[in-house]
Amino acid sequence: MIEFNLKGMDDLTLALKGVPKKISKEVASDSMTIAVRPLVMAIASYAPVDSGDLKRSIGWVIRQYKTGVTLAVIGPVRGKGTFRTKKGNLNEPANYAHLVEFGHNTPRSTKGRKNTIGPLAVPAHPFMRPAWEATKEQVLNTFNDTFGTRIEAAVKSRKAAR
């Protein structure tokens, strides 16, 4: 899991005390959606292309919890890029993305051979981690700027309404 801390959390906490939870949650969700777009595009561009299903499945979901935490879950989305194989099996990129990212020991086809190929029969092709490393500054700065600007606007409009 990737975690980060925002600079100025004390100032942010004070500013948010004057903002209704509904507005702060809405601003956090909107800001997160804007901020993660470059990361999602980078992940899709870094994804290895065999059939293209993994690349097509990349997306995100914004989750909000009662504790006030807003979270972006980014990666292969179930149902996106999914298709049926000739045998009728469902090919779901979300089920094998971790095997692509980290590699695995099982060869693609075990038919007629023993699993003695080596430590990683299928090598890792990282696409999520390099995408995060390439875009994290942009994502964090965009979130900070967008969230700060929108919260300031919400505080000003709330004060003007009084």
**CA gap 76, 68 in Å, rounded:** 25
pTM: 0.74
- Residue 3 belongs to a domain: no
DSSP 119-149: S-SB-----HHHHHHHHHHHHHHHHHHHHHH
- pLDDT for the residue numbered 34: 95
If one counts the domains in the chain, the total is: 1
CB 56 within 8 A of CB 101: no
- Residue 156 belongs to a domain: no
Q: Two tokens at 16?
A: 């948010």
- Residue 162 belongs to a domain: no
- Residue 132 belongs to a domain: yes
Q: Which residues does residue 60 pair with via DSSP β-bridges, in sequence order?
A: 74
- Residue 152 belongs to a domain: no
What percent of the chain clears pLDDT 90, i.e. is strictly above it? 33
**CA gap 11, 100 in Å, rounded:** 41
53: left (phi over 0), alpha (psi -120 to 50) or beta: alpha
- pLDDT for the residue numbered 52: 78
Give residue-wise pLDDT tens across range 95-151.
Answer: 888 888 998 876 555 555 555 555 557 788 999 999 999 999 999 999 999 998 888
Domain of residue 13 covers 9-147
**CB count in 10 Å sphere of residue 147:** 21
What percent of the chain clears pLDDT 70, i.e. is strictly above it? 69
- Residue 161 belongs to a domain: no
- Residue 72 belongs to a domain: yes
- Residue 106 belongs to a domain: yes
